[in-house]
Amino acid sequence: MHTNSEKFLTTFTRIEKELKSMMSHEDAGFSRMVKILRDYNGIVKRYGDDLLEFAALRNAIVHNKIDMSYAIAEPHDSVVKRIEDIERELTQPEEVVPLFARKVYTFQETETLSSLLRVVHEKAFSKFPIYNGEDFKGLITQKGITNWIASNVETDELPTMETTLSEVLRFEERGNYKFIKSNTAVLEAVAFFREQIGRGIRLEALLITSNGQSTEKPAGIITAWDILEIP
């Protein structure tokens, strides 16, 4: 029967191996890898503090072993469970597909605002990719529609629902979307939203395609509201 220290060290070693696989050719110690990778990997960023604490505990166990079969300190059951849970998250992360796979309602920029608003009314959706043929042009949101209406009020012109979506798209903020691959980890998706908020930028949606390319058909969409439901 394995002791908690043995379980902890074995799991720690597997995590260390996983981190090394993310580091390309740079050779670094465990703590250094964590500090580097948390700037690029949403999962490492989320569990960075835990991983650094595990490194300190690992050193304490290894350096204070009385012999190969006896450790002077045994991690608590909760610590072992925590490191095992984080290892699973790193090596077998939940991906955005199938969790966020859904029908995405798209429109051509030559279509009218009235056609889009019908879908808003019927489906209660509020984010719509806009295309010119197969060429992605941008994302229309409720904010862009509101901005368009406000601009018409200021010019004393009567807004018409037959306005083309290309016209409405002019009132959207640039960079309010991001394309991601279908195998992106859910926690990576969460990190994208949080990073943008930290920069004072509102990311309206993540558009999911097979390889994260705008030329591919959307397989799903993630909004800020979806992210709020992720623990």
Q: Which helix (H) or strand (E) holds 63?
A: helix 48-63
- What size, in residues, is the chain? 231
Phi first, then psi, for residue 95 (nearest 5°) are -100, 160
For the packed helices 77-91 and 4-22, what is the interaxial angle rounded to 10 degrees?
20
Tell whether 73 and 125 lie within a shared domain. Answer: no
Between CA 54 and CA 33 the distance in angstroms is 13
Q: 149 by DSSP, 3-state: which?
A: helix
Tell whether 171 and 147 lie within a shared domain. Answer: yes
Higher pLDDT, 218 or 190: 218
This prediction has a pTM of 0.79
Tell whether 136 and 215 lie within a shared domain. Answer: yes
For residue 62, pLDDT beyond 80? yes
Q: Of the candidates 92, 111, 139, which is a domain's last residue?
A: 92
What pLDDT does residue 193 have? 85
Tell whether 67 and 136 lie within a shared domain. Answer: no
Q: Of the candidates 92, 123, 150, which is a domain's last residue?
A: 92
For residue 184, pLDDT beyond 80? yes
For residue 154, pLDDT beyond 60? yes
State percent of the chain over pLDDT 90: 66
Tell whether 82 and 140 lie within a shared domain. Answer: no
Confidence of residue 160 (pLDDT cuts 50, 70, 90): confident
Tell whether 150 and 64 lie within a shared domain. Answer: no
The 205-209 sheet, strands edge to edge: 177-181, 205-209, 220-223
For residue 131, pLDDT beyond 90? yes
Q: Of the candidates 57, 92, 127, which is a domain's last residue?
A: 92
Number of folded domains in the chain?
2
Which CATH number goes with the domain that contains 152? 3.10.580.10
Domain range for 201 is 98-228
Confidence of residue 159 (pLDDT cuts 50, 70, 90): low
For residue 67, pLDDT beyond 70? no
Tell whether 9 and 24 lie within a shared domain. Answer: yes
Tell whether 9 and 103 lie within a shared domain. Answer: no
| Residues sharing a CB contact under 8 Å with residue 191, sequence separation 6 or more, in sequence order | 42, 45, 46
* Mean local confidence (pLDDT), 87-100: 94
For residue 70, pLDDT beyond 70? no
Task: Give residue 113's identity as a one-letter amino acid code.
Answer: L
Tell whether 106 and 201 lie within a shared domain. Answer: yes
For residue 196, pLDDT beyond 80? no
